[in-house]
Copies of this chain bind each other. A is one copy, B any other.
Amino acid sequence: MSITIKGLARELNLSVSTISKALTDSHEISSETKQRVLELARKLNYKPNPYASSLRRRRSKTIAVVLPAIADSFFSLAINGIEAAASDKDYHVLIYLTHESFAKEEAMLDDFQHGRVDGILISVSRETAQSKHIQDVMNNGIPVVFFDRIIEEIATTKVTTNDFESSYQATSHLIQQGCKRLCYLGISKDLSISNTRMEGYKKALTDNGLPVEESNILYCTNEDEADFQLIKKTLKGKKRPDGIVASVEKLTTPVYVACEELGLSIPDDVKVLSFSNLYTAPILNPALTTVTQPAFEMGQKAAEILLKCLGKKNSKLDNESIVIPSSLTIRASTL
């Protein structure tokens, strides 16, 4: 057991308030007294009770990271980046998973209004089509920084990657490789990144004289089996696509399995690429072409901005977008 403030006060024959002020380096306390207090505190292994000091300062030294999922290499790498920035500044990171549920996301943000965390990093769920829950928490003085999955109209800092350009570039690559019927696999009509990536795909088609057909734009659900059946049905159809742009990595496995079951060769019959940070991409059968997102850097940057804001009194977050570019890594699945 370590000693409390009361214990220090007793040992030094000083008031609790004097000890407390000395420990927080108050100008009301002489440097001589401060030194006495600090020496004993060190000697007796004094550690502040984080809840007591949170209550006093209304600070928990904790940031929340609200994410749709963790079993995704983008988010797990982003968390590593966030964690790296937070541990530099001695902050704790609370990770909250929405599992793509708007109701859960709303309940979490509601809970944050009551002092549990100092600031929030969020990548919204695929169901999130409104922003009141986020605006409310910001109005309550808790800063929010978006990363990856943003809500455009909220005035705060957003860290994203160049989704439009990288999707345009990836789709153009498929067209250069000879694809004529390109299918886009999205995950939500409401989600900013899913739409931005779709716009990049559409623009590449148009710029290359190919028609945009709504029947080639598919929205997957959050249910693995339903996604698999939808993909398989599309690949069995008369107007079978000869190229697939998957907007999230978890759609890669059902595409590969469906092709195998249908006897379709990747890349001969269908060329496939995915937005993905999968470290197994090079050893898939065949190796997968990926739009590789700067996941670690995005998480780290978002956390640094939030922590900088928390470190200054009355600091406000700028309404700005910070874009860290992705890169296209071409492998056998599109050659």
A-side interface residues toward B, CB under 8 Å? 1-2, 47-52, 54-55, 60, 62, 70-73, 76-77, 79-80, 83, 92-97, 110-111, 113-116, 139-140, 250, 252-253, 256-257, 260, 278-280, 282-287
Which residues in B have their C-beta under 8 angstroms from that of A115? 49-52
Residues of B contacting A79 in the complex (Cβ-Cβ under 8 angstroms): 70, 95, 97
CA gap between A50 and B70 in the complex, in Å? 26
The complex places the Cα of A100 from the Cα of B285 at a distance, in Å, of: 31
Which of A51, A83, A115 has the most B CB atoms < 10 Å from its CB? A51
Given A71-B80, A76-B76, 5 additional A-B pairs, CB 8 A: A62-B94, A71-B76, A71-B77, A92-B96, A284-B285
> A48 — nearest CB in chain B belongs to which residue?
B114
Q: Nearest residue in B to A72 (C-beta to C-beta)? A: B76
Chain B, Cβ-Cβ closest to A255: B283
Say which residue of B48, B76, B96, B283 sits within 8 Å of A252 (CB atoms): B283
The smallest C-beta distance from A222 to any residue of chain B, in angstroms, reads: 13
Chain B residue nearest to A92 (CB atoms) is B94
Given contacts A253-B283, A280-B252, A285-B285, A2 and B73 within 8 Å (CB-CB): no
Question: Smallest CB–CB gap between A136 and chain B, Å?
Answer: 9
